Amino acid sequence: MPRFKIHHLTKYTYLSPVRDSANQILLYPFNDSYQEVVKHELNITGEPHVDVYHDYYGNEVGSFMNSQPHDELVIDLLTEVITHPHPEAKDDRPVAEQWAEIQNISTQYPYIDFLKPENFNAHQDLAASVESMGSVSCTPLQAAKKMSGFIFENFNYIKGITSVETTLDEVWKLKAGVCQDFAHVLLEMLKTIKIPARYVSGYICPNKTGLRGEGATHAWVEAYIPFYGWLGLDPTNNCIVDDLHVRLAIGRSFNDCSPVRGTYKGTSTHSLEVGVAVSYEDGRTSHEAPTVLTPQPQTPGVNVNSYRKYMEMIQQQQ
C-alpha cells in the first residue's frame, strides 16, 4: 500500500493591501476505503478559524475569512495519504442488460446531476466521434475505455496552452490542453451515450515509469459502470485510476472542485503562485532529483500564449 506525502502551496500576492478576504477551500483528501488520510496540516496566513462542512457531493469543504489588511495570502497544505488498490471492474454481464441498467438510472439521484451536458457548440462533432467508435455496440466499460484512449491519442498534452477560463469549444478546436481539459472532453463524450460521469480533482503520484500531470493538481473522470459503481478513468495517461491517484473532490466540472476560491476588497492586480510536490514516504519520486515546489505565476488579463496563437492561425488558414 503506497504512502504519499503531499505538499500543496497556494500564494496570492497583492499590489497593495486588501481586506475582507473570504475563501473556500477543497483541500481535504477523501478518507474512505480507497485512501486513508494519516496526516493533515493546514497553515493559513493570519491563522483564521476554518469552518469545515460537507457539500452536496460529499466533499469536505473549509471556509475562512481574513478581515485585516494583508498584502499576501498563503494557504499551505501538508498531508500524508495511504492508498489502497481498487477492485477490478468485471465486464461479464450481457451488453443489453448493462445498457438497460444505464437507462434505468438516468432519472435517479445521484446520477441525474452527472448526465446534464455542458453548453457546447461543437457537440455534433463530438457525438460523431463517439459514434465512429461504435460505442453503443459494446459494453459501457468498453465504451468508456475507447473514449479515454481516443483523447489520449488525438489530443496533445501541452502545459500553458489553456487556463481555467478556456471553454470546451476551444479545447475541442485546439485538440490540446492539460488534464483538466481532457477530463471535461471525456465527461461530454460519456454523457453523449447517457453514461453518468463526474469530474474528479486530486493528485497523481509518481511511479517508476512516470505519469503526465505530476507537479500540480490533477484531474480525471469517474464513470458509472453498471453492476460495479464509479470507475476512475484518466484520459491524460489513458489508464484506469488505482492507488497512484489521490482523490480531493468530485463534482460536475472543475467549477465544483476548485481547490481554492474566494473574494476580497481591494486592488484587482494580484499574482497567484501554485506549487505541488508529491513523493513516497521514503522521499522517492519519479525523478532522480527531489521534487520541489515550482510556482506558477498567473496575472489576470495577460495573454502571451504564442503556441496557442500559432495553432489558431494554422486553423484559420485551413
- Tell me the residue range of the domain where 20 lies: 3-83+258-317
Quick check: 275 pLDDT over 70?
yes
Instruction: Convert the pLDDT of each residue in 73-113 to its tens digit.
Output: 999 999 999 999 999 999 999 999 999 999 999 999 889 99
User: Do 123 and 106 fall within a single domain?
Assistant: yes
User: Do 240 and 301 fall within a single domain?
Assistant: no
Q: Give residue for cell 451515450.
A: 193
Q: Considering the entire predicted model, what is its pTM?
A: 0.88
**Number of domains into which the chain is organized:** 2
Quick check: 312 pLDDT over 50?
no
To the nearest whole percent, how much of the chain has pLDDT over 90? 72
Instruction: Convert the pLDDT of each residue in 146-185 to its tens digit.
Output: 999 999 999 999 988 998 889 999 999 999 999 999 999 9
User: Do 205 and 173 fall within a single domain?
Assistant: yes
**Rg (Cα) of the chain, in Å, rounded?**
20
Quick check: 303 pLDDT over 50?
no
| More confident call, 16 vs 300 | 16
Res. 33 pLDDT band, cuts 50 70 90: very high
72 belongs to a structural domain: yes
Instruction: Convert the pLDDT of each residue in 118-141 to its tens digit.
Output: 889 999 999 999 999 988 889 999
88 belongs to a structural domain: no
User: Do 12 and 128 fall within a single domain?
Assistant: no
User: Do 130 and 241 fall within a single domain?
Assistant: yes
Give the mean model confidence (pLDDT) for residues 18-36: 96
- Cβ density class 123-134: b for 16+ within 10 Å, e for less: beebeebbeebe
Residue 104 buriedness (CB in 10 A; 0-12 / 13-18 / 19+): exposed
Instruction: Convert the pLDDT of each residue in 217-258 to its tens digit.
Output: 899 999 999 999 999 999 999 999 999 999 999 999 999 999
The residue from 220, 240, 256 where one domain ends is 256
Which pLDDT score is estimated for 284?
A: 56
Which pLDDT score is estimated for 214?
A: 62
89 belongs to a structural domain: no
- Cβ density class 209-246: b for 16+ within 10 Å, e for less: eebbbbbbbbbbbbbbbbebebbbbbbbbbbbbebbbb
Supply the CATH number for residue 272's domain: 2.60.40.2250
